[in-house]
A and B are shown apart, each in its own frame.
Chain A
Amino acid sequence: MEINSFIIFLAAIFTSNILLSNFLGMCSFLSVSKEIESSFGLGMAVFFVTTLTTILNYFVYHYVLVPLDIIYLQYIIFIIVIAATVQMTEMIVERFSPALYYTLGIFLPLITVNCAIFGVSLFMVIRNYNFLQTVGYGAGSGLGWLVAIMALAGIRQRIREKMVPAGLRGAGLTLIITGIMALAFIGFSGTVIIQ
């Protein structure tokens, strides 16, 4: 059955959020979400790179790997595509928009090892999306990640001064907040479903 690519886009943001239901991109999510500004910078970079690399990997997979029968090399090829895209993005942004580079620049190298981006490409292959669905899924996942990290950063800024048990400070409390956010996002399930 063909699922509308717009539905996949919405589902990737809300019901099967790449971070809250597939747990991808946690490392940078936990370490960068202290400030809203830097979260927004990283989130935008992830959104941009995820959309771009998912589309590129779609073409690489269907027009290079499948015809040559070297699907078993997909991990290495995908990683190389992602690393190259990040490097290119960094150079282009630096050349044409120094202001944007100032906001995104420091986060771009971090992104090469962000598992959300690699994971979206792998899910795209496993779920057999066609081109439009791939675009919807890539953009939706990136946007979903941005939404999640912005929400967390907002909450973390509010509770910074509050008293919390010493043992929960840092990662522990962040994980509990994320868990509650994941519970809230489960509330969306039932509106749209993708698999």
Chain B
Amino acid sequence: MTVQDRKSPAAGATPPSGETAGTGQPNDTTEPAPIKAVRLRHPWRTVLAVALILAFALFVIDASRRPAYDWPSVGKYIFDRRISEAAAVTLQLMIYSMAIAVVLGVILAVMRLTPNPVVKSLAWFYIWVFRGTPVYVQLVFWGLFSTIYQTIDIGIPFMDPWISFENNAAQNYFMLACIGLGLNEASYMSEIVRAGLLSVNRGQAEAATALGMSWSQTMRRIILPQSMRVIIPPTGNEVISMLKTTSLVIAVPYSFDLYTRSRDISSEIFNPIPMLIVASIWYLFFTSILMVGQYFLERRFARGVGDRRPDRKVAVEPGSPPVIAGQGGGQ
């Protein structure tokens, strides 16, 4: 049948729009058969995949036989009391320093967005210093805190102090490590938070203001919750990064974290390699858990975006006519 046949009114007595047209006719509305095409082959993909699998298998088999890895020692020390305790300490270091970093980061981000130029510059200066110097150097500095500030004086500046006491707090290396890591991280967190706050459309703050909400209500209820979607992914990155940065706390010097502890044990058994594997397995274990946590957090703050619809079943179709109560319709 040609196109001309279809168009020509003489082709049939039935109107072209008829839904009851016979099968095989131009207006046949029966379901067409699903497409079953011969799939396109990608031979090089297969070759590459096989090569990669072979290379990886080779590496694994080789590693399992290589004496230098000393797998029996790995098995022996992976659940060693000292190691699991050190793992707990590393986790604590990460949690406390990230807590400091997030709180201080939010404060710094808000400071940078205030109209007060002094507050703004102060936040800028903080970020300039703490982001611009290596965290290792900062940790060494914190270790020397008690040397720099030997006593804590209370009184009028540049006069004889009323009260003066020894700076004993600075001998707590765990605390110093948390502060050192936390203050460094805060400079990064503040930039992440600031990016998040700036990502929220200006109209949101305007709508909240127009409703009579205060600045802090607007921040807490409208801006921050929306910025979370932007803040969380890079923060997850920072948390994982922090977990690993805790291995630098020996600079303070604090020596009960996972990495330093496993180094200590390796000097006992005269082989550093298995203890490195033990530490790596623990770090990987923690980062895996953190990644799962991040997934759920992201889902929580994705409310209102994406395809998830409310669970409620809706009977009425969209576009139901608007009615102002008691007005009897405007028509």
A binds B: no
Q: Which A positions have Cβ atoms within 8 angstroms of B?
A: none
